[in-house]
Amino acid sequence: MGTLIYDGADGFTFDDRVLAHLQAVIQTKLRRREGFLLIWTDRTAGADGILRSIWLDPSISVQFVFAGPTLPELNRDWLTLLSERANSNSGLMLEDDLRAEIREEVPQGSYRASKSRNGKRPDGA
């Protein structure tokens, strides 16, 4: 488990694979001097967890501390989905199901968060 350290004080744990994808999206947004909201359920606070949100802004310090010595391989589809969410008005919502897929605990493609404009899933279902 890696840690996202926000504003030098709070540390939030994520699987290294999830954290690597967040790092890629966050660094892109902050490099462009764009702030955004990151929202997730923090399961370290108990079985039910608590909903957390942080505003990420170029003026606020953020660090990524990985448990392993190398960065996990990134998946372009997940980066695209996370980037689209980070660019949305509602912010980057990182649901448990998506995090499980990124951690490779469920088969890739089993999570369908984004819907097309007509309300159907991208796979046509």
End-to-end CA distance of the chain: 35
pLDDT over 70 at 94, yes or no: yes
pLDDT at 84 (0 to 100): 92
pLDDT at 54 (0 to 100): 93
Q: Quickly state the pLDDT bin for 10 (edges 50, 70, 90).
A: confident
Among 12-21, 69-78, 115-124, where is mean pLDDT lowest? 115-124
Pairing of strands 92-94, 36-42: parallel
Torsion of CA 80, 22, 93, 107, to 10 degrees: 70
Which residue from 64, 83, 60 is spatially nearest to 72, judged by alpha carbons?
Answer: 64
pLDDT over 90 at 108, yes or no: no
Calculate the alpha carbon distances from 97 to 7, 58, 77, 107, 113 in Å. Answer: 27, 28, 15, 11, 9
Which regions of the chain does DSSP assign to beta strands (E)?
Answer: 2-6, 10-14, 36-42, 50-56, 62-65, 92-94
CA 109 from chain centre, in angstroms, equals: 16
Sequence letter at residue 113: A
Taking residues 93-120, report their average pLDDT. Answer: 59
Record the pTM.
Answer: 0.78
Among 15-24, 30-39, 47-56, 114-123, where is mean pLDDT lowest? 114-123
